[in-house]
Amino acid sequence: MSDTYERAQEPAEAERLDVASALREEARRLDAADPLGGHRAKFALDEETVYLDGNSLGALPAHVPARMADVIGREWGELRIRSWDESGWWTAPERIGDRIAPLVGAAAGQIVAGDSTSVNVFKAVVAAARLAGEAGEGRDEILVDASTFPTDGYIAESAARMTGHRIVPLDPADIPAAAGDRTALALVNHVDYRTGRLHDLPGTTAALHAAGALAVWDLCHSAGALPVGLDAHGVDLAVGCTYKYLNGGPGSPAYLYVAERHQDRFDSPLPGWTSHADPFGMTPGYRPADGAVRGRVGTPDILSMLALEAALDVWDGVAIDAVRAKSLALTDFFLECVRAYAPEGRVTPITPEAHAERGSQVALACADAPTVMPELIKRGVVGDLRRPDILRFGFTPLYVGFADAEQAARVLADVLAGTPSD
Ligand SMILES: *Cc1c(COP(=O)(O)O)cnc(C)c1O
């Protein structure tokens, strides 16, 4: 009886080890051939940790602390107020906007960095509603993806109340068909933060335009991970954060894109003095500056702003198409390793298989997610949990490799199987 039992197990175990060594070998081959492999050295990372949470907080680029020491010690400590001019502090928001621009397919002069994504969602939704015309003229609906990151939904709802619109929550896939005479704008997440699903930006934008409406995109989970093509696809307004795939640091400034053709009529609901045509004129009447600067509000948070600016150096010479190619290969490989290693039926990928519908993360539904993720983190595989039952693993192609993906899947399988850590 026990003989039979053991013989039945041995080939399966041997097969499992075989598969594992084949996958490890494949990871080594893929890493050795990876044209982006050299970029990992630009980041402060340790060899013991597989960091798969760069879609929540990007890793620290290794040169940023020295730059911040200079910003604080010399620019602030020695030059003090002179730095607003002499160190370029005053123009940092638009200068940094121009550094983000190529990563999201925008020509210069259309992006300004500053404030949080939440605040920029507010500016963008109200400004788009104003561009679309008075709600009373018939365009009284704002379409929002029903699965949106919460802050976008909350703020759009408040903006809608203020501007006399009503919110229509929809599956992003249904937005093109739903856009019509009553649609003022749609606010859509480019990639779903929970599932990692990539939404159809070109098609949805075109359908909104055909209906006479505007397209506002949230790029938090796509900028720095895949090509966005804001200009090429005629996006009207966009927002995004910089602390995820752009590695700007905790709470680093977000950004706002206003397509050049809309800038003259962009009417900010937060017309702070730094967006004035002559801010130091200190005049009582508001007169907006030209260009992306019109999206500014108050005094920029220079320390975070300049940490972000330094962090963006890691993108010098990096083609976003190469990042996308590696991201898809990494997520494919991780899914393959999970399928090979994970005990049957314990995790279910909810990230789409189709490349055209996949962002740069893999989300796995798992009934035990709330206990599995802390154990994974204890064993050096850092992803995150989205309650109630989603394990999220972000793949940041500049510093995550194929061996990382294989190791993460292997440790996940051990945790699921209850194998003690060594
Ligand atoms: C991360 C994220 C945000 C965050 O907004 P904050 O104002 O920076 O807190 C907003 N929207 C989406 C889609 C996000 O993924």
| Distance between CA atoms of residues 211 and 395, nearest Å | 36
Contact criterion met (CB below 8 Å) for 253 and 299: no
Strand 214-218 to 183-189 pairing: parallel
Q: Is 42 a catalytic residue?
A: no
**Per-residue pLDDT reduced to its tens digit, 246-285:** 999 999 999 999 999 999 999 999 999 999 999 999 999 9
| Distance between CA atoms of residues 336 and 351, nearest Å | 13
Residue 16 is predicted with a pLDDT of 81
C-alpha 417 to ligand 1 mean position (Å)? 34
Mean pLDDT of 60-74: 98
* Coil/strand/helix, residue 146: coil
Structure tokens, 293 = 């600067």
Contact criterion met (CB below 8 Å) for 216 and 238: yes
pLDDT band at 72 (very low <50, low <70, confident <90, very high): very high
Strand 384-386 to 390-394 pairing: antiparallel
Structure tokens, 64 = 């940023």
Residue owning the nearest CA to atom 15 of ligand 1:
220
DSSP H stretches of helix in 101-240? 117-131, 150-163, 175-178, 201-210
Ligand 1 neighbours (beta carbon < 6 A): 116-118, 149, 151-152, 189, 193, 218, 220-221, 241, 254
| Distance between CA atoms of residues 400 and 373, nearest Å | 19
Contact criterion met (CB below 8 Å) for 296 and 274: yes
Residues 392, 399, 402, 414: which is the catalytic one?
Answer: 392
Residue owning the nearest CA to atom 1 of ligand 1:
220
**Per-residue pLDDT reduced to its tens digit, 174-231:** 999 999 999 999 999 999 999 999 999 999 999 999 999 999 999 999 999 999 999 9
Residue 271 is predicted with a pLDDT of 98
Which run of H or of E encompasses 406?
A: helix 402-417
Q: Is 244 a catalytic residue?
A: yes
Q: Phi, psi at residue 199, to the nearest 5°? A: -90, 160
**Per-residue pLDDT reduced to its tens digit, 291-312:** 999 999 999 999 999 999 999 9
Predicted confidence (pLDDT) at residue 3 exceeds the cutoff of 90: no
Q: Phi, psi at residue 272, to the nearest 5°? A: -70, 170
| Distance between CA atoms of residues 352 and 354, nearest Å | 5
Q: Which residue has the tokens 């190469």?
A: 322
Q: Which residue has the tokens 């796509």?
A: 222
| Distance between CA atoms of residues 72 and 238, nearest Å | 31
